[in-house]
Every structure is written in structure tokens, then in C-alpha cells.
A = this chain, B = another copy of it.
């Protein structure tokens, strides 16, 4: 199973940092792709720049201005999960999600998500039914799904790599 993350409802003036955190969280927690809607070249560049410096973990970084068509087309190939505080608690469904053999598109909304997305999703899943953060929701969903193995991956061709250390900072720089 591969997971792709679709961030919808992005507002370029307001959501720049949160959406960047969503994209980097997708990358760091095991997603294979990140799709942004609507398009915002600055965010796409930022994610690609992290891929260049820290190494390749994503197969695809893309954007769409037609998120509903994108999701409908996706449903021919895989399963759609929408993360929302109104959905079923992840504790009650994570095992069903782990059993899916198809690819999964995870929809992460901004503040107000139109009803149509709830209808299109195969699963509306709540990372708890309290208000918090789409970044937190995505991170915990992916960490549960991949059971922590996602944090052991080695990115391809990094320019920078951290050597984990109990105090301070140790970073190796590679010449390419």
C-alpha cells in the first residue's frame, strides 16, 4: 500500500506555514506523494527544496485546481481517507485501514471542508474528536499506519544528514 496526501482548501495568504508543515509531515512520515489544492508554487518549491537538501523520500509532488475531479479519478484506483474531527475515532478503525491492499489517498482539509468531501471519502477518520491540528492528525495517522517504521527510512542522495546525538547537533554534509 502506498499513501498519497492531498491538502485541500489551501489559502496562499493565510496557510503558507501550516500547509508547508502538512507537506513536510507527509514526506517525513512515509507518504509517497503530496498534492496541493489549489496550486501554490511557493509551497511546491519549498517541499522540493527540502527533498533536494535532505534527500528524496517522495515519489511525487504535485498540485491541482480541481480537487473533486482528482478524488473521483483516484477512486478508480484506490481508497480515500478523509481526516476530520467529526469522523470515526482512529482507535476503532486503524486495523481496517491497515488491511487495505490498494493505495490510499489521505485528504487533509483546512478550516471548513465542504460536505461533498465527506460523501466522497470511503473513510472519515478522527484522530480523536477534539479540535487540534491537521498537521497533528496527519502525523499520527501515518505513524499508526506505518507503525513507526517510516522513521527508519534513508532518503536517497541527501546533501545533509543528521547523526542522532543525545546532546547538541551533528550533521554530515555530502558533496554531489
Q: If the complex has contacts A131-B54, A139-B140, are A162 and B25 also in contact, measured as CB distance less than 8 A? A: no
Q: Which residues of B contact A164 (CB under 8 A)?
A: 86-89, 92, 126, 129
Residue-wise interface mask of A (139-164) relative to B, using a CB-CB cutoff of 8 A (1 in contact, 0 not): 11001100010111001000001101
Give A175 to B167 CA distance when docked, in angstroms.
51
Q: Is A39 an interface residue (CB 8 A)?
A: no
- Asked whether A170 lies within 8 Å of B29 as measured between CB atoms, the reply is no
Binding stretch for chain B, among A2-10, A16-24, A60-68, A71-79? A16-24
Task: Please measure, in the bound complex, the distance between the C-alpha atom of A92 and the C-alpha atom of B57, giving whole angstroms.
Answer: 21
Task: Give the CA-CA distance A83 to B17 in the complex, in Å.
Answer: 19
CB<8 Å pairs between A and B, sample of 23:
A21-B133, A24-B130, A24-B132, A27-B130, A28-B131, A57-B130, A86-B169, A86-B171, A87-B164, A89-B151, A90-B151, A118-B169, A121-B167, A124-B165, A129-B164, A130-B155, A133-B135, A136-B138, A139-B140, A140-B140, A140-B143, A143-B144, A144-B148
